[in-house]
Amino acid sequence: MIGWFLRRLGQVIPTLFLLSIMIFGLQQLMPGDPALIMAGEERGDPVVLAQIRAELLLDQPIWTQYFAWIGRVLQGDFGFSWRIRLPVSQLILEKLPVTLQLGTMAFIIAVVIGVPMGIVSAVRRDTAADWAANGVALAGISTPNFWMGIMFILLFSVELGWLPPSGYVPLSEDFWLSISTTIMPAFVLGSGIAGVLMSHTRAAMLTAMAQDYVRTARAKGLSEKVVVLKHAFRNALIPVVTLGAIEFGRLLSGAVLTEQIFTIPGFGKLVVDAVFNRDYPVVQGVVLATALIFVGLSLVADMLYMAVNPRLREA
Amino acid sequence: MSATTAIVATGDSPSRRALRRFLQHRLAVFGLVVVVLFIAAAIAAPWVAPYDPIATSWTRIRKPPSADFWFGTDENGRDVLSRVIWGARASLMAGVVSVAVAMLIGVPIGLLAGLAGKFTDAVISRVADAMLSVPFLILAIALAAFLGPALENAMLAIAISAAPIFVRLSRGMALEAKSADWFEAARSLGNPPWRTAYVHVLPNIVPPLLVQGTLSIAEAIIAEASLSFLGLGQQPPSPSWGSMLNSAQRFLTQAPWMSIYPGLAIFVVVLAFNLLGDGLRDALDPRSQRR
């Protein structure tokens, strides 16, 4: 187990190193001179420009800039926002809980819809229920979630008036109000993932149901419910758990648009606003943070995989 | 044995058998028909669109759908149907071009990794891992932001973000090919490595690439719409489904038709590409079961 963990870490570290080069390299794509952008009104003054260049190490060779940058990042310093003079790390830490709340709710919705649908669809293979479940999953995957968000606002806020169309109330302030402002975006965000989870659960269940131990369980007279849930599903869970952890990373991606539609002040809104304000350190910081979360999650997924599948532990 | 003789007797080639399996798959054929219709509409946009997609008119602002304007008109008096038809150009082009570029980048690199092995493979695989660890859309947004807002840049950003999938896929297929007898035969005949890769390995991995390519187009169309929705893709006044939805959102209460139709267009075309991809998978890989 420890050997495995070290080997896995041996893969993660070069990946993170390359990732840091890539994210640092992003700013090289930027059109124009960053010093000019930062100088703003004072862009005509060569003294100010030289000062900014020296401050940002823009007058240094690129590898010096990289090492200075990565050194700061390793200490948790993601630089300063150009727009609002606040540390990027502080902005991210402020916005992340909002997105995590949204993401967790979306994930719960996705699991509650996707997994049972996958089981039913596998058990009732090639029946109307199976076709319907597949259709719903395919529709979920094919609907752009920002359009679904707009349609939900139209239906539930404009037409029916059941839920607020936008805005956000933190959980700590008012639990139920917070849930009512996030339930619609969470459903929108979760629906695509539900489709993915459904088709993977279905595939894993079909594989499990064809195994000898399922036949044995049936042969010894267990009820179909016990066979499906206790024998087949527990084994089908293995690939689903791994996938689930990785899909959670994808939620962060989807959150960008969902937060935009429902004006929820999270991580996604932060990056979009930063893009339009040409606040590049914030964009860089958000990309870095999501990548770190994603790498962390896939590590967790692999560990979960080991935990739920003891056969792998010896390897 | 009897099955083999039967196939030989009817003279069925593997591609004919794949075609027959595909045609039996009704949903996939439906997907293909829808895709072809959309492509035809996009190409014939100047002739099929009833109105000029960018001509504004102050006398017909936000008119609901009617016999004259099937999908209604938008906040500048432009015909929504005509804009949806013209918008198909941006979406389909973004989908097809960005996936083609992603394949052009990803497939040779993946083949190189799989066939060269050792250090080359390790470096390429880690770079692909690094790129895949940034969620697709966030990477595309960041790239589009740094490159500047334009449809071409959005396409490039999507292509770069989608490339690692093709690296992984073709690397895996190359590794599989390496252990096949025909690979050893091609090599021992004295073919140089590049020739073995392009003449022998590449044709063998076309089916999975075709399947992944089709599914990736679906994803790329959503990505382009998302970037245009955020204002990072097609720039106004040129129509694109994503940017139409962006302006439509402001008039949701007064003019819901403005946001219904462009989104419906995205949904239908993405669904069609997904159905087509699933059908191709079933037709080209006889071993795989229906998902």
User: What is the Cα–Cα distance from A195 to A114, expressed in whole angstroms?
Assistant: 6
Orientation angle between helical segments A233-261 and A145-152, nearest 10 degrees: 70
Assess whether pLDDT exceeds 80 at residue A140. yes
pLDDT-wise least confident of A41-45, A97-101, A198-202, B271-275: A41-45
Chain B residues with beta carbon closer than 8 angstroms to that of A298: 133
Q: How far apart are CA A42 and CA A63, in angstroms?
A: 28
- List the structure tokens of B26: 């009704």
C-alpha span between A267 and A279 (Å, rounded): 14
Rounded-to-integer distance, Cα A184 and Cα A151, Å: 11
The angle at the Cα of B134, spanning A287 to A82, to the nearest 5 degrees, equals 10
Q: How confident is the model at residue B102 (pLDDT cuts 50, 70, 90)?
A: very high
Whether A96 and chain B come into contact, CB under 8 Å, resolves to: no
pLDDT of residue B221: 92
The length of chain A is 315
Per-residue pLDDT, B288: 52
Helices B257-284, B14-24: crossing angle, 10 deg rounding: 140
Contact B275/A27, CB-based, under 8 Å? Answer: no
Q: How far is CA B181 from the centre of its chain?
A: 34
Query: Who contacts A269 (Cβ-Cβ below 8 Å, separation ≥6)?
Result: A95, A259, A260, A263
Question: Partners of B79 in the beta sheet?
Answer: B73
The verdict on a CB contact (< 8 Å) between A30 and B146 is yes
Residues of chain A positioned with their CB less than 8 A from the CB of B135? 249-250, 252-253, 290, 294
**A16 part of contact set with chain B, CB < 8 Å:** yes
Please identify among residues 138-197 of chain A the ones whose CB lies closer than 8 Å to any CB of chain B: 138-139, 141-144, 146-147, 150-151, 153-154, 158
Which residue of B lies nearest to A294 if distances are taken between CA atoms? B133
CA–CA separation, A271 and B155 (whole Å): 20
Question: B245: helix, coil or strand?
Answer: helix
Position B3 scores a pLDDT of: 46
Is the pLDDT reported for residue B1 higher than 60?
A: no
Give the best residue of B133, B158, B264, B270 to mutate against chain A (max A CB count within 10 A): B133
Closest CA to A261 of B235, B263, B144, B90: B263
Burial class (CB within 10 angstroms; exposed 0-12, middle 13-18, buried 19+) of A284: buried
- The answer to whether the CB atoms of A252 and B131 lie below 8 A apart is no
- The whole-number average pLDDT for the span A88-111 is 87
Largest pairwise CA distance in chain B: 75
Contact A228, A166 (CB under 8 A): no
Predicted local distance difference test score (pLDDT) of residue B6: 47
pLDDT band, residue B287 (cuts 50/70/90): low
> Given a cut of 90, is residue B8 above it in pLDDT?
no
Count contacts between A and B (CB, < 8 Å).
137
Indicate the residue type of A176: W
Q: Which of A34-38, A282-286, B159-163 has the lowest mean pLDDT?
A: A34-38
Per-residue pLDDT reduced to its tens digit, B183-194: 778 878 877 877
A250, A136 contact by CB (below 8 A): no
Peptide linkage before B237 cis (omega within 30 of 0): yes
DSSP 3-state assignment of A59? coil
Which two structure tokens, joined as six digits, stand for A231? 């024998």
Q: Do the chains contact at A29 and B222, CB–CB below 8 Å?
A: no
Quote the percentage of chain A above a pLDDT of 90: 0
Tokens of B48: 């099929």
Type of residue numbered A178:
S
